[in-house]
Structure 1
Amino acid sequence: MAARAKKEVSMEEALWKAADKLRGSVESAEYKHVVLSLFFLKFASDKFEEQKAKIVAEGHEKFIDNIAFYTKDNVFYLPPETRWSYVMENAKQDDIALKIDTALYTIENTNPILKGALPDNYYSRLQLDTTKLASLLDEINKIDTSKDKENDIIGRMYEYFLSKFAIAEGKGKGEFYTPKSIVNLIAELIEPYDGKLYDPCCGSGGMFVQSIKFVEAHHGNKKKVSIFGQEYTNTTYKLAKMNLAIRGIAANLGETAANTFSNDQHKDLKADYIMANPPFNQKAWRADDELLDDPRWSGYEVPPTSNANYGWILNMVSKLSQNGVAGFLLANGALSDDGTELKIRQQLIENDLVEAILILPRNLFYTTDISVTLWILNKNKKERTVDNNGVEKHYRNREKEILFMDLR
């Protein structure tokens, strides 16, 4: 009797079923983290097996355990005890959580680019019922990741979970996942082809991923873009490292997850491009007596403790290179705040840093229907001609000019 073919399902269907397996055992905000690393394990294994078959097909069978034959094509080398086939063979065993943790630890140690990207002893600490964990593995096993030619599966998965479950998780903190359409808009406006790209609150690394896709879509060279980022939440920091490593995107995200204001991981950075979606209207972001003499506010008023919006703006202004350009999102209220924020706004205008203010339509985010503002800051609005990805581009003089557009 012929073996029954494994049923393949869409990623979205599999994710929904996977989430279903976790109900009652794990908080909904934790779903994405539980599923994410298992997805990664399946994804990395499928890529590994594909590369292994290619090595054999090319007559290099004796090199199937040579790490260099995998890394040259941006594929992670997986020792036998870390492969998905091994995990599935042991899925019903009582120590499966330990085996998964060991697999992730081994993969990270075998592939330096993944250092700090994978969870440490996570599944053992979860203490999930073995039957539930086995059912979860069965659902993920149904996904054919080889169809994901753009290596976008982690980003898609994260996006899906946020759309379904992150309403309560993000709303209270003013944190909203940036849709690809907005990231693409920022990339099209600031054109990050060549130089240092920085995101002070990089989340899962979505800004970086879409920026590199923008460069590739315009036939640029992604190796000309150096990426710098920082993220406060440890699980999201690991997610960003994983997200970028899967795509072979080298990045400096700092030594650890850290608060951008109190523990700046890139103090001396001067970036050519900045893209960001900071938490909106973040309150109590510093104590009354903290960061009063911070060099990032030099020449400006000290941003008030009641709202971090202008703290984020001045952090980015301080990081811009001589010709640097920044594109970032803020709540519309940042345009009309008075007091200290009004004074900082005036100083930004007097220093001729504001290039454009675009008020975007409502309903662009998964978890909120608010309209937001896209700010473009530019350190050099003078007339000049530059080589932009091999094309000569002439900029007219825009000093003392600001473009305002209300797109609602």
Structure 2
Amino acid sequence: METSENSLLMWKALEQLRGPLDVQDAEQLLLAVIFLRCVADVPEDTATAGMPRWQWLVAEADHGPVLTEALKMTLHAWTRSYPDGGRRLTESIPDHRVAGPLLREAVRLIDRAQRPLELYEECLERFSHTKSRGNYFTPRPLVRLLVDLLAPRPGERVFDPACGSGGFLVESARHVREHHGPQTVVELAGRDINPRARQIAWLNLTARGLEADLGEGSVDSLRFDDTRSTTFDVVFANPPFNLKHSDDLWHRPWRYGQPPRNNANFAWVQHVVSKLTSRGRAAMLLPDGATFTAGAARQIRAGLVADDVLSAVVALPAGLFPHTAIKSSIWIFNREKPAEGRGQVLFINAREQETPAGQRKRTLSEDDIERIVDAYRSWGGSDQDKAGWCRSASMEEIAAREFNLDAVGYVGTPTVEPAPQHADQRVAELTHELFEHFAEAARLEDQLRDILGEM
């Protein structure tokens, strides 16, 4: 992401707060201020009569005696619809003696932002570098890709069981409104075990005028599913990769068999599939190890293929996540496959569809996204196979390969003539390959631990 004036303002504001505050507290406080800049900087109407406005808060930053109290008052007024009345959000504001003087300058800086919604999104992306395993934020190109693949429609119910900052929910609403009109309704729901993440998701949605059911109290999608009797038309998920969970998770019944005891990837897979209506579809991100790990994972993959609920697997480039260099794949599920796709799984090798985005990082361009989406939407069976890019495989072939779902193994790799390279470019690429080898070693170690854990 290029440095913009908005980015500079955000980082200056964060630097004002980092001195006296813990990094995560400073980040959440800054997000709360930007949220108020988005929602409270509006003309007064009958629905918001008497509520404090953004310019009043800016005036308090210039002349008020206790800015933190003014901030709490403004935040509480604009978060009353939050399940606990915004209590946790207002309680998270630090004592005036700690943050008051520096908060004044932060408010003044945010007041200069030209596009506060974009600034909010930039904050979430930049702050994701300090979160482990992607718990808060999925990079926007990946969110856009998964949503475009499933293309939510008006009136559908969209769910994310590990919603983090709410990116899939926000993008689903944007997609529906862009393709079906600005007043089109889509029902949104999300869960996340992290209360702080759900607060950020609520702020993210509300700043855009969106509503969603994010649950109340303690929420753990895998252990205590409070949506057990509810199914959804569309489900998105980017669960924490290779999460190690407590033993009580495995005491519940599982349709395709108990997941590996030391890894929750296939608990998430089965949870996502269980939330689908009879015509529902889902897309989720998983580490590449999930495509080939033996033991209980293989049995679950076999069940998914036999049920004909797995629609496609897309192999993605490494380096798309800010917190890990691990390779990942998109798994797409569909309870009602088109006739030409029944008994088949589409494999897409998008390993080379990448654009450099800084040191050892990659992103997906609009062209990359469009090519992957077109390959999936135009899927018409084996007659549309393209060597090195996409291929449709039958249940029988997948079974013969021991239910290995590694897309590259089915599709092959594209043959591309190498272009002349400068020395510094070659060094950068070799460094990237070295980090990929490190990630591969970690993946093989996880696989070995899975096998040993089941012996």
Q: Same fold (TM over 0.5)?
A: yes
State the secondary structure of the residue aligned to 2:233.
strand
CA contact (8 A) 1:275 1:326 kept: yes
Percent identical pairs in the alignment equals 28
Partner SS state of residue 119, structure 1:
helix
Letter in 1 for 2:269: I
Q: What TM-score does the superposition give when structure 2 sets the normalisation length? A: 0.70
Distance of 2:22 and 2:157 partners within structure 1: 38
Number of matched pairs? 346
Go from structure 1 to structure 2 and tell me whether the alpha carbon gap of 1:225 and 1:130 turns closer, same or farther (over 3 Å shift): closer
Q: Find the aligned partners of 1:133 and 1:221 in 2 and give their Cα distance.
A: 36
Task: Provide the C-alpha distance between the structure 2 equivalents of 1:253 and 1:121, rounded to a whole number of angstroms.
Answer: 20
Distance (whole Å) between structure 2 residues aligned to residue 126 and residue 281 of structure 1: 41
User: Unaligned regions of 5+ residues in structure 2, if any?
Assistant: 352-455
**Aligned match of 1:326:** 282
Amino acid at match of 1:88: V
Separation in structure 2 between the aligned mates of residue 300 and residue 377 of structure 1, nearest angstrom: 15
- Structure 1 regions of 5+ residues with no counterpart? 1-8, 53-63, 68-76, 382-394
The residue that corresponds to 1:189 in the other structure is 149
SS in 1 for 2:260: coil
The answer for the alignment partner of 2:108 in structure 1 is 138
Aligned pairs for 1:3-402 within 5 A = 10-46=5-41, 48=42, 51-52=43-44, 64=45, 66-67=46-47, 77=48, 79=50, 82-91=52-61, 93-109=64-80, 115-116=85-86, 119-125=89-95, 127-145=97-115, 151-162=117-128, 166-167=129-130, 169-170=131-132, 173=133, 175=135, 177-194=137-154, 195-219=156-180, 223-256=184-217, 258-283=219-244, 285-287=245-247, 290-295=248-253, 297=254, 299-381=255-337, 395-402=338-345
Q: Which AA in structure 1 matches 2:31?
A: L
Q: Quick check: 1:204–1:239 contact (8 Å CA) kept in 2?
A: yes
Which SS does the other structure have where 1:375 is aligned?
strand
Inter-CA distance 117–84: structure 2 relative to 1 (3 Å threshold): same
Deviates more, 1:352-361 or 1:255-264: 255-264
TM-score of the superposed pair, with normalisation by structure 1: 0.78
SS of alignment partner, residue 240 of structure 1? helix
RMSD of the alignment, in Å? Answer: 2.5
* 1:286-336 superposed Cα distances (whole Å, 9 cap, x missing partner): 22xx144424x1x32112331110010010111111011110101111111
Structure 1 residues 364 and 308: CA distance shift in structure 2, 3 A: same
Separation in 2, partners of 1:127, 1:305: 48
Question: What SS does structure 2 have at the residue aligned with 1:120?
Answer: helix
Counterpart CA distance in 2 for 1:175 and 1:114 is: 22
